């Protein structure tokens, strides 16, 4: 009797194994037709097969087995299929493959779509450029020494925009590494989410400084419009974990990413055409206006709310006096608050006014001059060059109003 049962068990195992093999073969035959009709969104595949095609797929999967044996797909098969359809990670965790996302380009290392939050969300990635002169092999660049980092935050009204696809060459040529970051937008990025992302990107840079030849004791940041406002918030909230507005506590740091033991503070901030007071922004006759007008929310997204509460640092403000999106008044509010906090100007802060300048789009000569001012600002305060004179508030004239 025992021998008979043993043979039956062996027969069932053989049949189950054969059915598993058949099922995997069918899946592999079906998969290409599914992939052809897939449209890749941020994280999901949408199957768009026609009804008759879907039916044929279902019929193929449900084709009755010649034997009435219940089929159970083993875990290794499930994992194999899952591995085929799973969207790949943007960045490997294997330190030996740290350069998988990087290439040598124009005497620099270019690293694209580095996942600073470990979420596989393209909105939580950054692009990084590192100087690498006269080297033909990527690994040889690691002998060049380490580089201070400048972070760029893109604009777009917190509903649009992308990290840069090319670096600020002037900063790279001055010996800085350059990072341009994405962050969540719209409803997904509603405050404080966008700020949490930006802080996570800075923590990631510090956590990975040895992997990418960086030195991150001092990090500078700049941005335009919403990016400028973001940099102002990063500066004003440096050193603050939480803040209370009208008895409501706001978590400013967040817990995005896996590097919470590292600092998200920056050490120098340059704000191009960004707002400083969202309450005043709602009173503009035209231009950018917050979609949420709750006073606590407006105060929370205003850098002047926190300015003076965190770590003192230098501020550079650049704004056009004909800006019809974020009015020039916002730059004056920013400057007046700095003057109130630092009446003896114990830290450097200056306003560069672009006469006849709109919301960016200034003429090339003004653009070149403001970029030079920006470079010198970071050379003074991030590289601590003492031979570059301090900037003074002044006016540049643009022939173009945008």
The overall average pLDDT reported for the chain is 81
The answer on pLDDT for 18 being more than 80 is no
Structure-token pair, residue 332: 């004056």
Average pLDDT over residues 135-141: 76
pTM, 2 dp: 0.76
User: In Å, how far are 32, 67, 178, 216, 385 from 131, measured between CA atoms?
Assistant: 42, 65, 9, 15, 19
Which pLDDT value is given to residue 144? 72
124 in Cβ contact with 200 (< 8 Å): yes
Average pLDDT over residues 336-361: 95
SS3 189: coil
SS3 194: helix
What contacts 402, CB < 8 A, 6 or more positions away? 357, 358, 359, 360, 361, 362
65 in Cβ contact with 18 (< 8 Å): no
Q: Please state which CATH class domain 95-397 belongs to.
A: alpha beta
> How does residue 127 score in pLDDT terms, banded at 50, 70 and 90?
very high
Helix residue spans in 37-62 (DSSP H): 51-62
The answer on pLDDT for 56 being more than 50 is no
Which pLDDT value is given to residue 318? 99
> How does residue 137 score in pLDDT terms, banded at 50, 70 and 90?
confident
Cα gap 16→10, rounded to integer Å: 10
User: Of the spans 30-39, 52-61, 287-296, 374-383, which averages the highest pLDDT?
Assistant: 374-383
> How does residue 279 score in pLDDT terms, banded at 50, 70 and 90?
very high
Handedness of CA 332, 336, 338, 343 (dihedral sign): positive
> How does residue 107 score in pLDDT terms, banded at 50, 70 and 90?
confident
Which pLDDT value is given to residue 84? 35
215 in Cβ contact with 288 (< 8 Å): no
When mean pLDDT is compared across 76-90, 124-138, 293-307, the lowest value belongs to 76-90
Can you list the pairs that 4-9 forms with residues at least 24 positions away whose Cβ atoms lie under 8 Å? Answer: none
Which pLDDT value is given to residue 75? 52
Helix (H) or strand (E) holding 248, with range, is strand 248-251
User: In Å, how far are 14, 58, 62, 64 from 31, measured between CA atoms?
Assistant: 26, 12, 15, 20
Locate the domains of the chain by residue range: 2-85, 95-397
């Amino acid at each position: 009797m025992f021998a008979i049962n043993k043979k039956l068990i062996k027969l069932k195992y053989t049949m189950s194994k054969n059915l598993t093999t058949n099922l995997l073969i069918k899946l592999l035959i079906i998969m290409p037709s599914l992939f052809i009709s897939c449209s890749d969104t941020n994280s999901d595949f949408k199957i768009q097969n026609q009804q008759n095609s879907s039916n044929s797929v279902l019929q193929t999967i449900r084709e009755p087995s010649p034997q009435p044996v219940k089929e159970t797909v083993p875990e290794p098969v499930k994992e194999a299929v899952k591995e085929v359809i799973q969207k790949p990670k943007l960045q490997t965790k294997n330190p030996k493959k740290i350069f998988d996302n990087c290439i040598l380009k124009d005497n620099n290392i270019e690293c694209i779509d580095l996942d600073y939050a470990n979420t596989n969300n393209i909105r939580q990635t950054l692009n990084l450029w590192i100087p690498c002169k006269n080297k033909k092999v990527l690994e040889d660049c690691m002998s060049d020494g380490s580089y201070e980092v400048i972070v760029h935050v893109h604009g777009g009204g917190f509903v649009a925009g992308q990290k840069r696809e090319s670096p600020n060459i002037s900063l790279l040529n001055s010996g800085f590494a350059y990072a341009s970051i994405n962050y969540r937008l719209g409803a997904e990025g509603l405050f404080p989410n966008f700020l949490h992302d930006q802080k996570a990107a800075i923590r990631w840079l510090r956590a990975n400084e040895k992997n990418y030849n960086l030195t991150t004791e001092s990090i500078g940041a700049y941005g335009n419009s919403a990016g400028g406002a973001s940099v102002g918030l990063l500066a004003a909230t440096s050193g603050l974990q939480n803040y209370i507005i009208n008895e409501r506590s706001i978590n400013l740091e967040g817990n995005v990413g896996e590097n919470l033991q590292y600092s998200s503070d920056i050490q120098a901030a340059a704000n191009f055409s960004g707002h400083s007071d969202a309450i005043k922004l709602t009173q503009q006759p035209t231009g950018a206006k917050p979609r949420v007008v709750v006073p606590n929310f407006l105060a929370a997204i205003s850098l002047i709310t926190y300015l003076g509460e965190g770590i003192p640092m230098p501020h550079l403000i650049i704004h056009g006096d004909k800006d019809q999106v974020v009015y020039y008044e916002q730059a004056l509010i920013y400057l007046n608050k700095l003057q109130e906090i630092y009446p003896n100007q114990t830290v450097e802060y200056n306003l560069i006014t672009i006469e006849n300048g709109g919301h960016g789009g200034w003429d090339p000569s003004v653009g070149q001059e403001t970029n030079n001012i920006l470079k010198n600002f970071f050379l003074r305060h991030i590289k601590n060059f003492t031979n570059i004179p301090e900037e003074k508030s002044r006016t540049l004239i643009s022939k173009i109003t945008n």
